[in-house]
Amino acid sequence: MTALEKVGSPPTRLDGTALHDWDYLVQEDRAHRLIYTNPAIFEAEMTRIFGGTWTYLAHESEIPKPNDFITRRMGLRPLIIVRDAEGRLRALYNRCTHRGTTLCRWDKGNTKSFQCPYHGWNFLNSGKLRGVPWPEGYADDMHDPKYNLAQVPRVESYRGFIFGTLNVDALPLLEHLGPIAEIVDQWLDRNPGGKVVVCEANRFRYKGNWKLAYDNSCDGYHVAYSHRSLLETENRFGGENAKGMAYYRNSPDAQPMYMRYTGHGNHFKDKRPNLEQRPGGLWALESAHPGMEHYEAEFIKRYGHRAFALLDLAGSEPVNINIFPNLSLLGNHIQVFEPVSVDETNAIWYGTMIVDEDGSLGDDAVTDINALRMRTQEGFPNFGEVDDIANFEQIQRGLMAVEDEWVYMNRGFGIPGRVKTMEDGTITAPATDEAFMREHFKEWKRLMKARANFAIQREP
């Protein structure tokens, strides 16, 4: 006899109260479809997650000089990230205090003040209202701080990565990052001077919820299936040597790579143990790109014995670092997830360059390395990200089946000894486990339940 699953009346078994029953919606091994599809839940996330915890805003190299600015978002709030005239980093609301229009319509630039395009109110880049046209028309004291721009009260940066939160009780950024900071250090420290400079981006928009990208960020289970065409290309180029993600092709869990959850929603997938530690070892793993052999031959001709160490600087670091809720460092790229609506998200891949401040590499080598780093955007971001985005869009469609309510994240769950808690409290599991997702959802739930102490700031 066929097993029938009883369903309530459409659209859902949940009533109004259950909509905010976070323990019901996110359980240990499964999550309810509504957290990906419900506009009211999305709206709550835009405050409690994007605002309630440290959110990545921009990179310091994008605003290196005093008075530099770049426009970004925190959740749906439009922001202007500035390095003010005193050199202080600020995240101003890009919202005129007069009638609410966005104040700055440029993506980036350098200015000491912003003039509103609507009625011409003028604000210093500290957020202070500098003046209004024909002030005699106001009886009110226009020096009242209530007219100054709102700004994010806490903005901190860790090694160039600028984060902000509205939660005045949030831990200091470094404490919040905890063990993931060390992995970020390793990602940076392989570069000269331990630095990267962010350059322009490869921008995607997909019709799916923002969490679908974060749920996929540490997923080693899908690779062999979702990225099959990319793996086949890599296998063709790589022969017996594992190229790119080719080590996912047989039994990924038998490989030395692993996933680790480090707390506060952050995790990383460490594929570095699969790597042979020698000059050129990283480059040998690099995914196939058009014209790659030609580049390699040119490097050897130009740089002789230094060539392979230099090529490693262009190679993609085999670790995916995911910082909840919106930042991933993958290969040479910085990926940022920007929610647009409950079923629409921007996935932006910023390229990065190396810098040679002490001149030890030489200008030619730096230019060649950076050209090649840029070309690594032709690998995964173009041939892999599209596979992932197709999945995200198809999940969003699948989740429109209202009676079939749950998505499962139970791979590796309940098998004794498989998921290990380390001495420092971090959690390790084989590469294909969904332990990372179960853990970041605990953080999601914690934030959705919390009544954080939110504030905005206005300059006096």
Least CB distance from residue 386 to Fe ion, whole Å?
Answer: 10
Q: Residue 381 Cβ, how far from Fe ion at the closest point, in Å?
A: 11
With CB cut-offs between 5 and 8 Å by kind, which of ligand FES, Fe ion, none does residue 388 bind? Fe ion
Taking CB under 6 A as the rule, does residue 128 contact ligand FES? no
Site for ligand FES in 78-117 (CB under 6 A): 96, 98-99, 101, 116
User: Nearest distance from residue 330's CB to ligand FES, in Å?
Assistant: 39
Least distance (Å) from ligand FES to the CB of residue 132?
7
CB of 82 to Fe ion, least distance (A): 35
Contact 215, 323 (CB under 8 A): no
Encoded one letter per residue, x for contact with ligand FES by CB under 6 A and - for no contact, window 44-83 reads: ----------------------------------------
In the block, residue with structure tokens 């426009």: 71
The item of Fe ion, ligand FES, none sharing an interface with residue 383, based on CB under 5 to 8 Å by kind, is none
Q: What is the DSSP string of 132-201?
A: -SSGGG--S-TTSGGGSPPB-SEEEEETTEEEEESBTTSPPHHHHHTTHHHHHHHHHHTSGGG--EEEEE
Residues 6+ positions from 137 with CB-CB distance below 8 Å = none
CB proximity list for 103: less than 8 A, separation 6 or greater: 80, 94, 95, 96, 114, 116, 117, 123, 149
Q: How far apart are CA 83 and CA 93, in angstroms?
A: 14
Q: With CB cut-offs between 5 and 8 Å by kind, which of Fe ion, ligand FES, none does residue 99 bind? A: ligand FES
CA distances from 258 to 91, 98, 189 (A): 36, 52, 21
Q: Which of 121, 163, 204, 221 is in the footprint of ligand FES by CB under 6 A?
A: 121
Q: Is 424 exposed, middle or buried (0-12, 13-18, 19+ CB in 10 A)?
A: exposed
Q: Which of 296, 388, 405, 439 binds Fe ion (CB under 5 A)?
A: 388
Interaction partner, residue 30 (Fe ion, ligand FES, none; CB < 5-8 Å by kind): none
Find the shortest distance in angstroms from Cβ 104 to ligand FES.
11
In the complex with Fe ion, the residue whose CB is nearer, 36 or 392, is 392
Name the residue nearer to Fe ion (CB basis): 50 or 258: 258
Size of the site for ligand FES (CB under 6 A): 9
Nearer to ligand FES, 121 or 337 (CB): 121
**Residue 98 or 446 with smaller CB distance to ligand FES:** 98
The DSSP result for 354-413, as a single string, is ---TT-SS-HHHHHHHHHHHHHGGGTHHHHTHHHHHHHHHHHHHHTT-TTS-EEE--TTT
429: helix, strand or coil = strand
CA dist 384 → 273, 314, 315 (Å): 22, 19, 17
Q: Which residue sits closest to Fe ion, CB atoms considered?
A: 388
Binding residues for ligand FES, rule: CB under 6 A, are 96, 98-99, 101, 116, 118-121
Binding residues for Fe ion, rule: CB under 5 A, are 388
